[in-house]
Amino acid sequence: DIVSGQANVIIGKMEMTLNNLNAMTGPQTTQRLQDGLASFAGVAAQLDTLFMFNRLNLTSAVIHADSVMVMLAAAVVKLDNAIATANKLLNSDDIKATSANLRTITNTVQASLDSMKLVELSNDIRNFITNTNSMVNHYDILAVRGRDDILRALRNMEEALDNFREITNIIRENPSVLIRGKASSQDRPE
């Protein structure tokens, strides 16, 4: 008796499942699936047309962004060169030689004062002043060159940042410009 009760339950569930399958594969469901596929095909065709007409605008946006990146890279290279020039200046043999000369002159002054060799001391001081003037002139020229390189690099970086801000403002104001491109005054409806 228990077995026949369970068999009836199983048969009832199988019958419900078959009824559900018949409902799912009925003509209304099939028509809805066909309508959905047709709608999807229409959307795909519209997207394809949209991309085809805006391909030049997308390419232009990518090229413009690429040129901004190239300008930034050039500015970084110029800044690196200016820093390298400043490092060369600070690590140059002239500074080391001047430092060594200063030590030598200091030692000489001390020895001269100790032995009262004022004539030799006077000559050493003149040589020191001459060397110092030469070194100052040399470093003034290098400092002007380095400053000009740094200023140029900063101007280039500022220009690149302005271009980058302009691009981000355009995209922030109208994100669809990435897909459609920026409309010209002739394209806008009146």
- Higher pLDDT: 115 or 104? It is 104
pLDDT band at 133, cuts 50/70/90? confident
Encoded tokens for 180 = 């459609």
Residue 101 has pLDDT above 70, yes or no: yes
What percentage of the chain carries pLDDT values higher than 70?
A: 87
Q: Which of 6-10, 57-61, 183-187 has the lowest mean pLDDT?
A: 183-187
Q: What is the token pair recorded at 25?
A: 């594969």
Quickly list H helices, the chain: 2-24, 27-90, 93-115, 118-173, 177-180
**Separation CA 37–CA 181 (nearest Å):** 30
Q: What is the mean pLDDT of residues 128-144?
A: 82
Look at residue 174 and tell me whether its pLDDT is greater than 80. Answer: yes
Which pLDDT belongs to residue 116? 62
| Maximum Cα–Cα distance across the chain | 137
